Amino acid sequence: MRAFSLAVIFAALLAGQALAQDYGAIDVVDEVRNSVVSIDINSLAVNYATLDMSTQSLLTRQITGVVYTENGYILTDSNSIDDGIYINVRFEDGHEYEGEFIGADLQYGVGVIKIDPDPDHDLKPIKMRGELYNSDIGSLPYEQGEPVLAIGYSGGYGGTVTSGIISAIRTFRNSRKILIPNMIQADCPINVGNEGCPLFNDKGEVIAFHDIQGGGGGLQRISFFSPAWIIKRVADEIIANHESERPANSEDVVWHPWLGIQPYAGSQGASGLRAQSDDLKMFFGMPDQYWDVGILLNDVWREGPAAEYGLRRMDWLMTVTVVNQDANTGEDTVKTPYQLIKTVQQLEVLVSTAERGDIFIFGVLRNGNMFDVEVTIGQHPAATAYLPDASSDLTRSDLARMTEYF
């Protein structure tokens, strides 16, 4: 028995060694070490119980960032970077810079900082796999079981490396309750300071950024990472807004596709699935041919695209086709062919990946009658509330309620 156990242990060690050799983690770290930075966010903490300004203290948060462009744009987590009175960016080679807050998108968790690098300091931007989401799982730039590395400001120690594999690829809600297609679940240990850190593949390319810290309740080493394509899109729009000096309340700043609908929900889980019982369908007199499909609208947001184009509360959405209308030529291209709507998640994925100009053609069942309603996707009304100098007429109550609509 002892000989058998030793043989198993020896075989496991050889397998682990072979994996490490094939992976080439050392080469990846060497390739990207000067592209990952440590960021100190210094802000003033006030005793709000007494509002005594004389008792202010300096609070420092430590987070991770990556070099995005050669001219000094840094990507990081959006968590509270906008209130920093002083941002310090440190490279592993010893260079340090004061960072300027450019913009933060809280819904997608993207923050952008700008530094002015020294003339003799050539920045090395990360290589990012920024392909747009595709429903064909085989076309994704990563797969389950692939070895990955997380590099960041772990526990206050910059340049810390942790490794693991892609545990799963899931359509999942991020920490702001936004459904993200094909988020990566990985088992790399993520510690305080690593929030927002990049996830690298074996080629030294960033395939995702940390978003949700899992664990607890007996679970260990479960974290979720937002795919790089969506981070890249949001970051590019924040940067373009900064360089073009467009007003922060412009609808073109950062694209947040939105219909403004709230499907009927008995309960809402992390995956976005909602159950609709047979009794409910019987009550509404669901035709036999549509018994297994359709989602019920519990509410439609006032002044949202769905309401503007004629959708109403208690409508059943049975089918959907998505076309994109070219802004210059007016020509329509079919993006998503006609399909039955079987789950809320199915529709949420189509909405979350929609582009400007997309038109959703719904087959709607209302009072026993079937007809089509065309809805042009719109911009989320709260999308610009998270950028510098942006203004919004929305109340806190409005913003809280909007998390239940998409």
The domain segmentation of the chain, as residue ranges, is 25-245, 257-402
What pLDDT does 273 receive? 41
If DSSP codes are grouped into helix, strand and coil, which group holds residue 279? helix
Identify the CATH number of the domain defined by range 25-245: 2.40.10.120
Q: What is the pLDDT of residue 17?
A: 44
Specify the residue for token string 């998390």: 403
DSSP letter (8 states) at residue 127: E
Buried b (16+ CB within 10 A) or exposed e, 56-86: eeeeebbbbbbbbeeebbbbbbbbebbebee
**Backbone dihedral angles phi then psi of residue 95, each to the nearest 5 degrees:** -70, 140
User: Rounded to a whole number, what is the distance in angstroms from the first to the last CA of the chain?
Assistant: 59
CA distance 262 to 242: 33
Which ranges of the chain have pLDDT less than 70? Answer: 1-23, 45-57, 80, 82-83, 133-139, 214-220, 247-252, 265-277, 279, 289, 384-397, 399-400
**Among 278, 268, 242, 237, CA closest to 255:** 237
pLDDT digits (tens, 9 = 90+) for 210-257: 887 765 555 667 888 999 988 999 999 999 988 887 766 666 678 889
Indicate the Cα dihedral angle 70, 73, 77, 78, nearest 10°.
Answer: -160
Q: How many CB atoms lie within 10 A of CB 276?
A: 19
257-402 CATH: 2.30.42.10
For residue 23, the model assigns a pLDDT of 57
CA 73, distance to chain mean position in Å, is 19
CA distance 300 to 14: 58
- Which pLDDT score is estimated for 376? 95
Whole-number Cα distances in Å, 128 to 200, 209, 233: 9, 11, 11
Contact (Cβ atoms closer than 8 angstroms) between residue 295 and residue 276: yes
Token readout for 259 is 């219909």
Strand partners, 213: 223
Which residues 6+ apart lie within 8 Å of 223 measured at CB?
185, 186, 187, 188, 190, 210, 212, 213, 214, 215
For residue 360, the model assigns a pLDDT of 97
Rounded Cα gap, residues 324 and 345, in angstroms:
21
Question: What is the model's pLDDT at position 384?
Answer: 62
pLDDT of residue 49: 57
Matching fold, domains 25-245 and 257-402: no
- Over residues 48-72, the pLDDT tens digits come to 555 555 556 677 788 889 999 999 9
Query: HEC string of 48-101?
Result: CCCCCHHHCEEEEEEEEEEECCCCCEEEEECCCCCCCCEEEEECCCCCEEEEEE
Q: What is the pLDDT of residue 361?
A: 96
Rounded to whole angstroms, the Cα distance separating 193 from 191 reads: 6
d(CA 268, CA 272): 6
CA–CA gap between residue 307 and residue 86 (Å, rounded): 44
Distance (Å, whole) CA 125 – CA 128: 9
Count of helices and strands (H, E) across the chain: 7, 21
Closest by CA position to 164, among listed 179, 180, 146, 177: 146
Structure tokens at 23: 């992976």
Contact of 63 with 88, CB cutoff 8 Å: no
